[in-house]
Amino acid sequence: MEWIEADTTATVSLWINGEPHSLSIDPRVTLLDALREHLHLTGTKKGCDHGQCGACTVLVNGRRINSCLSLAMAHQGDQVLTIEGVGSPASLHPLQAAFVEHDGFQCGYCTPGQICSAIGMLGEVRDGWPSHVTDDLDHAAGLDGHEVRERMSGNICRCSAYPNIVRAILSCADTDTGELA
């Protein structure tokens, strides 16, 4: 019996950090692997590869997702923001500066996902999305340590820098609106 190999590539067009990219990839490639292996954007980390740790968190059309659980092909035309597009060494994003100021990282492996998740989380607060611990579902605005811990619970820090991460987020967020202060 002769093995016949079918063409297993498809083209997907994405906007990554504000720039257009067209990739010819296997349709089974995750967004995480497309970023890391095809575009060499290695800031987004592969932690558990099962959607349990949050190290791979990126923003797609302004909403946070675990890129290890999402196929790149599902994001045709989408705007994807990775940690490489958040700030630069010369001009840190306010959350990046707060993580440095409040020692919100130890080994730093989870930090890109934590920062992308925090940006998305603040957008959710700004838009009035309730969390599991929100007291008043009709008025979900408001941010305190309890609310931040709940909303960031999908992002694991193996070094346990959680108190510093919460302080970093609260230090640069308007706790009433979720906007960056």
The β-bridge partners of 173 are: 180
Residue 99 pLDDT: 96
> 181 lies in a domain?
no
Please, which residues have CB within 8 angstroms of residue 17's CB and are 6 or more apart in sequence?
A: 41, 80, 81, 82, 84, 85
CATH number for the domain including 124? 1.10.150.120
Please indicate, yes or no, if residue 112 is contained in any of the structural domains.
yes
Determine the pLDDT at residue 108.
93
Give the domain extent around 76.
10-85
The pLDDT of residue 174 is 85
Do residues 105 and 130 both lie within one domain? yes
Per-residue confidence (pLDDT) for residue 137, from 0 to 100:
76
Domain total in the chain: 2
**Do 102 and 165 belong together in one domain?**
yes
Choose one of 58, 85, 112: the last residue of a domain: 85
112 with 167, same domain: the answer is yes
Q: pTM for this structure?
A: 0.92
Tens-digit pLDDT string for the chain (181 aa): 676 666 789 999 999 999 999 999 999 999 999 999 999 999 999 999 999 999 999 999 999 999 999 999 999 999 999 999 999 999 999 999 999 999 998 999 999 999 999 999 999 999 988 888 888 777 666 789 999 999 999 999 999 999 999 999 999 988 777 788 7
Q: Which of 57, 85, 113 is the last residue of a domain?
A: 85
Task: Classify residue 3 as exposed, middle or buried by CB count within 10 Å of its CB (0-12, 13-18, 19+).
Answer: exposed
For residues 22 and 79, membership in a common domain is answered with yes
**Per-residue DSSP letter, 5:** P
Q: Has residue 178 been placed in a domain?
A: no
What is residue 133's predicted lDDT score, i.e. its pLDDT? 87
**First vs last C-alpha separation in the chain:** 66
One domain for residues 101 and 164 = yes
Residue 139: its pLDDT value, please? 67
Residue 53: CATH number of its domain? 3.10.20.30
Q: Are residues 99 and 164 in the same domain?
A: yes
The confidence score (pLDDT) of residue 55 equals: 98
Residue 164 belongs to a domain: yes
Q: Give yes or no: residues 73 and 128 share one domain.
A: no
Last residue of a domain, one of 64, 85, 106: 85
For residue 31, being part of any structural domain is answered with: yes
55 vs 43: CA distance, rounded Å: 10
